[in-house]
Structure 1
Amino acid sequence: MEDQEMKLVDHLDELRKRLLITMVAFIIFFIFAFIFVKDIYNWLVMGLDPYSITLVILGPSEVLWVYFTIAGILAIACTIPILALQIWLFVKPALKPIERKITLSYIPALFILFILGLCFGYFVILDVVFGFLTNLGEEMFDTMFTAEKYFQFVLTMTIPFAILFELPVVVMFLTSIGIINPYVLQKVRKYAYFVLVIISVTISPPDFISDFLVTIPLLFLYECSIILSKIVYKKKQKKEERDQVDMLSNEVAK
């Protein structure tokens, strides 16, 4: 009983250490991003030039909100590899040597897919949806956006994709450690599709074109996740079969 309590305390200490390292990394990246937030802001609002739209603010607090939002998103993106590494180090003792090598390779993939998701949301989905909505009310309204509302819209169109683009790597990782397999993913496909459609309708503006543009990439990501899960699962099975054959050979040799 005492040994179990000691192990639990050790695990909690290790978890606290990993979380602390992640938080320190986030704070460092946040400070660095905050220093260059004006340059990042100017780059982000360049997409408004074709629409001749100037952002306005309704109060001093909105300036601070924009600063913290931009710096926070950049800090989160940069912290993802650190967080993934800390998670890997935390579960490392429970993994086999081959699993350690495989799962370690997923860390850069998490960062790359997060950035790809942001880029896809910003350069593809945001551009189409923003253009559509702006043209829709062009002859009816004098267009004027506050900085807060605009960046809330940008976050809605980009962050969900950045997170959902991580799905293939997460599925591969869970498959490699035996938590899920591709056959389970295929079995729950219709339920997963339903959830993804709900997510798409929720995060996209209320029109068919936007819903379609958001839904198709998410369904494609799910199918890619199944394919990648199959590849990992088959390699895992072959490795286990080879280990069993080697074990039997060693027993026969003895």
Structure 2
Amino acid sequence: MMDKTMSLVDHMEELRIRIIVSGVGFLVFFLFSFLFVGDIYQFLIKGVNGKLTILSPGDVVWVYFAIAATSALCLTIPLITYQVWKFMVPAMPENAKKATLAFIPGLFFLFITGLSFSFFILFPMVMNFLMGLAENQFQTMYTVSGYFTFMFRLTVPIAVLFELPAVVMFLTYLGLLKPQLLRKSRKYAYFILIVMSVVLSPPDLLSDVLVILPMLLLYEISILLSVGVIRKQVKTGLTQKQLV
């Protein structure tokens, strides 16, 4: 366990260790995912009629690496969050360590929930809408890079943004965030979330709307959860001063 009077050099060394552990974990999961990349590929294109088109031999390598990297990222989320928690532990009081550790599975659950929502619900809706626009007017041909770039841009960022409630609860529990601040900053937060949704989602109006609405709803849920954390702290006698 690190001492709370660690020097800046010690903090940087500890951060370096946490980054290395996370990187090694990602590499291990990447190699593991690569063993099953063919099966994952077939699962991801199950809604496509026929085969995807490649324009160069490098497309095959790119898509396999992209699939393996995305899969590895999903599997590494618990490890990364645990390393972040370990890095922050020295600054936490004893009564906050166990409670904050419980947020790690919550972050992973929200990430998987966001990934499932975007892949099974949002992605098919957007694809059907866009293909409906092209029906009887264009010849449809999916390229490997185009299809998976579109998919990953729509699904992965949403999965990350779905972790917002758990992050807000974690920061509230540590006394770094309060419901009053979240309410006061609502219009700025809405603006940031809308910009992020537009930038991260595919460049069409339907995708933007379908991404923006869940993000705004998640922000409101985050406020309610933050209020719940404060009430629980008051009820148990755990004041904000104790958490600082």
Return the TM-score normalized by structure 1.
0.88
Write the distance in 1 (CA, Å) between the matches of 2:50 and 2:60. Answer: 18
**Equivalences for residues 147-226 of structure 1 within 5 A:** 147-226=144-223
What is the number of residues matched between the two proteins?
Answer: 238
Superposed CA deviations along residues 62-102 of structure 1, whole A, max 9, x for unmatched, are 11110110000111111110111111111111111221111
Q: Which amino acid aligns with 1:191?
A: Y
Answer whether contact 2:154 2:202 (CA < 8 A) is retained: no
Answer whether contact 1:172 1:228 (CA < 8 A) is retained: yes
1:212: how far off?
2.6
Q: Mean alpha-carbon deviation: is it higher for 205-214 or for 22-31?
A: 205-214
Task: Name the SS of the counterpart of 2:238 in structure 1.
Answer: helix
Write the distance in 2 (CA, Å) between the matches of 1:40 and 1:174. Answer: 35
Q: Mean alpha-carbon deviation: is it higher for 156-165 or for 197-206?
A: 197-206
Write the distance in 1 (CA, Å) between the matches of 2:240 and 2:67. Answer: 50
Matched, 1:235 2:232: yes
Write the distance in 2 (CA, Å) between the matches of 1:241 and 1:219. Answer: 29
1:9: how far off?
2.1
Q: Which amino acid aligns with 1:166?
A: E
Q: Mean alpha-carbon deviation: is it higher for 12-21 or for 206-215?
A: 206-215
Answer whether contact 1:176 1:233 (CA < 8 A) is retained: yes
Task: Name the SS of the counterpart of 2:176 in structure 1.
Answer: coil
Task: Name the SS of the counterpart of 1:142 in structure 2.
Answer: coil
**Equivalences for residues 1-254 of structure 1 within 5 A:** 7-48=7-48, 52-238=49-235, 239-240=237-238
Q: Which amino acid aligns with 2:227?
A: K
Write the distance in 1 (CA, Å) between the matches of 2:14 and 2:116. Answer: 35
Task: Summarize the Cα distance change of 1:241–1:203 in structure 2 as closer, same or farther, 3 Å threshold.
Answer: closer
1:205: how far off?
4.5
Write the distance in 1 (CA, Å) between the matches of 2:7 and 2:156. Answer: 38
Answer whether contact 2:150 2:202 (CA < 8 A) is retained: no
Q: Which amino acid aligns with 1:133?
A: L
Report sequence identity in percent.
49
Write the distance in 1 (CA, Å) between the matches of 2:240 and 2:91. Answer: 21
Write the distance in 1 (CA, Å) between the matches of 2:31 and 2:92. Answer: 35
Write the distance in 2 (CA, Å) between the matches of 1:194 and 1:237. Answer: 32
Quote the residue 1:248 is aligned against.
Answer: none
Q: Which runs of 5+ in 2 are unaligned?
A: none
Task: Name the SS of the counterpart of 1:240 in structure 2.
Answer: coil
1:201: how far off?
3.0
1:234: how far off?
2.1
Return the TM-score normalized by structure 2.
0.91
Q: Which amino acid aligns with 1:108?
A: P
Task: Summarize the Cα distance change of 1:236–1:47 in structure 2 as closer, same or farther, 3 Å threshold.
Answer: same
Superposed CA deviations along residues 130-157 of structure 1, whole A, max 9, x for unmatched, are 0110111021111001100000000111
1:192: how far off?
1.2
Larger fraction in helix: 1
1:6: how far off?
6.5
Superposed CA deviations along residues 92-114 of structure 1, whole A, max 9, x for unmatched, are 11111221111100001111111
1:20: how far off?
1.2
1:124: how far off?
1.0
Write the distance in 2 (CA, Å) between the matches of 1:53 and 1:143. Answer: 11
Write the distance in 2 (CA, Å) between the matches of 1:242 and 1:206. Answer: 43
